[in-house]
């Protein structure tokens, strides 16, 4: 079959035009007590790779390689029925509970102290969520006291007795989770939740005024509550919170070109959410700016068998749930979603890939066995490793693409970062065309003298190739020999359905 001629795209990279800083919290992830994310994911005593605390060292190593900076814990839907006290103290005395969110049994073997210890080993910042579903203000204050007060109070001395002499210093706190969702235990209307979140925030700030608090946004832009929910919740909480959450997942329903429009939809959602935030700011005549915590995002094939939860009398411990096998196309979409988060760094101040291990995750494990990287691991790890300094505002000329539902989105999606101190720039570029290559012509003279340090592309002739425990290395990011830099111009060929990273040394 004759391949179509490549389409042409142009960009201009100029360090004078900036969006904002590269925020390390953009590269966050999410660990929920869901499926095998915790048990046989990060924690598996008796595994050959387990350390003295029961944490899998192979998963810790992969987490560091992935470049994760923050981890949101312990949910997610799970948190709306969670009693944090169940997960502290002697393990053999902890109660076993039903987890209504995922129709499972929670043994409470891992709780706050264990996860704080895991976070320290992984080198990540702990982002804690409080239960505003079945619980409320006092329980949130108790948890904050337990986590952050060094000593001298009942809860802090309880933590010290449990083995942690100093507080954990958790600064980021989520005020509940997806509280507009009817699937959420204790879900509320916007006014009920807004007032509860405001009262909880006031109390928490009386303990520590410097906390960074995240109010619940609507569970999805597709929710009928989206927009009005944000208006009402922020009217109640605007002067008390720093961020409002955004959640969005994408699924390949069989139309590859439509699947590749995912990041275009994310960008539209971000712009809509910004407009709702800024409407409240204007109405309140506030000088504060609330920004976005995009603390759940990923490809999630939620209509497939892997996402069906147990039912009836079956309440298993750590069942295999939401264990999607990701394709090369899924990885390109994940890379593009991360490009979009960076491109909106002026308003997206934090983000969490959902989730980290086994559950719609870049890292997979076998109980008692191997750990391996899914396709989605690679664009995330490389972007986290090499995006630094400042996000630049690009001028883009691109042909348009159309999927089955989404029309006229740009075929080229790109973002560039510039680190003046390191003397490096990085360009992350996605070809969203399902069947056609793109030629890229970039004007880079404004950066100064440039030299290509590294150019890699992630693509495959079979866009539906999947990694597995037996073969996770046949398709990896590979060198792109078409990338050339000369006389202020950078040229490259980007295959169909591809994610690329081009690193440049920049001189005066």
Which residues belong to the active site? Answer: 178, 296
Tokens (6 digits) for 325: 């096998």
Helices 57-66 + 377-386 axis angle, to 10: 60
**Residue 391 parent element (H or E):** strand 390-392
| Torsion angle defined by CA atoms of residues 394, 333, 451 and 15, in that order, rounded to the nearest 10 degrees | 20
Coil, strand or helix: which one is 229? Answer: helix
**Beta strand 348-354 pairing with 291-299:** parallel
Residue corresponding to tokens 């559950």: 359
Tokens (6 digits) for 186: 């204790």
Beta bridge partners of residue 249, listed in sequence order: 298
Half-sphere exposure of residue 343, counting CA atoms within 13 Å on the CB side?
23
Contact predicate 125/25, CB 8 Å: yes
Is residue 508 exposed (0-12), middle (13-18) or buried (19+ Cβ within 10 Å)? exposed
The Cα–Cα gap between 115 and 336 comes to: 30
Whether residue 6 is preceded by a cis peptide bond, meaning omega within 30 degrees of 0, is no
Helices 228-237 + 190-207 axis angle, to 10: 30
* DSSP H helices in 255-405: 256-259, 262-284, 328-343, 377-386
Q: Tell me phi and psi for residue 235, to 5 degrees.
A: -60, -35
Tokens (6 digits) for 71: 């981890």
Phi-psi label, residue 239: left if phi above 0, alpha if psi -120 to 50, beta otherwise: alpha
* First vs last C-alpha separation in the chain: 47
Question: Order of strands across the sheet with 18-21?
Answer: 18-21, 390-392, 412-419, 424-431, 498-507, 449-458, 478-479
Coil, strand or helix: which one is 177? Answer: coil
Contact predicate 404/370, CB 8 Å: no
The Cα–Cα gap between 57 and 370 comes to: 11
Contact predicate 337/12, CB 8 Å: no
């Amino acid at each position: 079959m004759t391949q179509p001629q490549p389409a042409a795209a142009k960009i201009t990279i100029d360090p004078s035009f900036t969006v904002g800083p590269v925020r390390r919290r953009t590269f966050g992830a999410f660990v929920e007590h869901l499926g095998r994310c915790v048990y046989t994911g990060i924690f598996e005593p008796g595994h050959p790779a387990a350390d003295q605390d029961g944490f899998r060292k192979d998963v810790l190593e992969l987490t560091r390689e992935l470049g994760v900076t923050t981890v949101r814990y312990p949910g997610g839907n799970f948190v709306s029925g969670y009693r944090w006290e169940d997960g502290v103290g002697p393990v053999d005395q902890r109660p076993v509970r039903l987890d209504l969110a995922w129709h499972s049994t929670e043994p409470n073997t891992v709780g706050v102290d264990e996860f704080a210890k895991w976070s320290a080993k992984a080198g990540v910042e702990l982002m804690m969520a409080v239960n505003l579903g079945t619980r409320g203000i006092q329980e949130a204050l108790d948890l904050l006291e337990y986590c952050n007060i060094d000593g001298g109070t009942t809860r802090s001395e309880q933590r010290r007795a449990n083995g942690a002499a100093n507080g954990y210093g958790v600064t980021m706190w989520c005020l509940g989770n997806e509280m507009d969702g009817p699937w959420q235990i204790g879900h509320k209307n916007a006014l009920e939740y807004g007032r509860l979140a405001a009262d909880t925030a006031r109390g928490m700030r009386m303990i520590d005024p410097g906390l960074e608090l995240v109010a619940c946004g609507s569970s999805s832009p597709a929710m009928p509550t989206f927009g009005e929910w944000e208006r009402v919740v922020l009217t109640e909480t605007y002067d008390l919170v720093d961020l409002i959450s955004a959640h969005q997942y994408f699924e390949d329903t069989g139309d590859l070109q439509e699947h590749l429009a995912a990041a275009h939809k994310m960008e539209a959602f971000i712009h809509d959410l910004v407009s709702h935030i800024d409407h409240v700011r204007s109405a309140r005549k506030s000088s504060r700016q609330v920004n976005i915590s995009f603390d759940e995002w990923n490809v999630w094939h939620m209509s497939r068998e892997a996402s069906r939860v147990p039912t009836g009398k079956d309440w298993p411990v750590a069942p295999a749930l939401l264990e999607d096998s990701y394709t090369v196309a899924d990885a390109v979409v994940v890379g593009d979603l991360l490009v979009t988060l960076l491109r909106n760094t002026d308003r997206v101040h934090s983000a969490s890939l959902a989730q980290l291990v086994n559950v719609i995750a870049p890292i997979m494990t076998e109980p008692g066995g191997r750990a391996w990287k899914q396709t989605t691991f690679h664009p995330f790890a490389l972007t986290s490793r090499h995006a630094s300094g400042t996000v630049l505002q690009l001028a883009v000329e691109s042909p348009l693409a159309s999927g089955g539902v989404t029309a006229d989105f740009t075929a080229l999606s790109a973002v560039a970062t510039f680190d003046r101190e390191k003397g490096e720039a990085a360009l992350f570029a996605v070809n969203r065309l399902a069947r056609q290559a793109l030629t890229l012509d970039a004007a880079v003279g404004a950066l100064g003298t440039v030299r290509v340090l590294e150019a890699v592309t992630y693509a495959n002739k079979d866009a539906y190739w999947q990694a597995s425990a037996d073969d996770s290395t046949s398709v990896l990011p590979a060198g792109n020999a078409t990338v050339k830099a000369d006389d202020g111009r950078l040229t490259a060929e980007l295959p169909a359905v591809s994610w690329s990273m081009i690193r440049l040394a920049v001189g005066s």
